[in-house]
Every structure is written in structure tokens, then in C-alpha cells.
Amino acid sequence: MGKALISRNDPPKTRITAILEALTTAYPGATCALHYKNPYQLLVATILSAQCTDVRVNIVTPKFFARYPNAAALVKASQDEVEELIRSTGFFRNKTKSLLACAKVLVKKHGGEVPDSMEALVELPGVGRKTANVILGNAFGIESGVVVDTHVRRLSERLGLSKQTDPEKIEQDLMKIVPRGQWVDFGHQLILHGRQICQARKPKCGECLLVELCPSAIIG
């Protein structure tokens, strides 16, 4: 089926190839916006990114990593010390508790190293499937699924790719239609598109490259 014959009202499986091609053209080389040099740094940054912008996290983490370069150093930190460093990321008390508890498990069970399996990662305090997907896909190059953050959740609904509201159910829907091998890139591309074009309050449908493929597009 040629692109010209694809309608915004067609099923997701019919539209997904054209959607993927358009996103890849618009956002070539899309990557994780969090700054990190190793799995430990990405783990910390991802925990800090909850309900906080990546820009803010990237401002906070250099000082954090200078003081706590690894889990062994972090496990010796006090609650007050960590809270002060990450205060500007919001929800800093709960995030501090998660970081300290996570470091403790890493040191005790994993020799201070971040594990590279979904099963082990989701057992870490403060780590759910979304965070595990971020770490596996970006730090280890393991495609375990699609990262479903607020942008991916919103765009999946608007693009008619999933009718679910639960992130894990949305992820399952996306994994069924997006070919494996593109899960990580698709997540990055959709997040960028959500930030730049398909914004929460007022999507820029007039500037959107997916307008002909989107059942929610406002035309005119």
C-alpha cells in the first residue's frame, strides 16, 4: 500500500511504517537527553528525572557524580547530603530514599554494578519498567521494550496507537506494531516530537509531519 493511500483512520498496523519513516526523517540520530557516562550515572539520572525536566537533571548531576562517582560512594552518603544536592529536581526526599536504598542493593547484591536484566533492575528501589527500559536500551544496548513516559503516553493516544491508559499496557500495544530493533529509537523520536510539536496543551498540528496519519489532528 502506498503512502498516498494510507488514511489517518486506518488501523495502527497499516499506519505504523509511514509513522516510523516520518519520525526517522525528522529526528535522525535521536538519543537519550540525559547526560551520562556509564550505567550507574544513567540509573541515577533516570530516577531524578521523575516529574522533572531532563534539562534540570543535567544541571544537577555533574556535582552529584563528582561527589558520588559510584554506588559504593553513594551508599556512604547521608540523607541530608543527598537531599541538598538534588533538591531542585523536586520530590527530593523520596528520590533520596530511593537512591540510597538502590545503592545499598547494588553494593550488596551486584558488587556495586548496575545489572543488565529487566528482572534484576525492577527489583531495585525506585526502578520500574520504564526506568529499566531506559537503562537497558541506552546503557547496555538491550531492547527490552518501549519507554513509555508522559510524552509517549500522550502521543500513543493521539496517534491512535493504543487505547490503553496504563503505561505497561501501552508498551505492549506498541511492541506489537513497532518492529523490534526500532523500539529504542521510536521512544526517543516520539519523546522529541512530543516536546517540540505534539505538546500537551496545544499541539502544533499545522507544523506536524504526521498530520495525515493522525486521527486526532486538528486541520485548518
- Catalytic positions are 130, 149
Per DSSP, the chain holds a count of helices (H) and strands (E) of 11, 0
Backbone angles phi, psi at 90, to 5 degrees: 85, 155
Residue with cell 536500551: 137
CA distance linking residue 192 with residue 182, whole number of Å: 15
Give the three cell numbers for residue 145. 521494550
Least Cα distance to 177 among 12, 45, 23, 8 occurs for 12
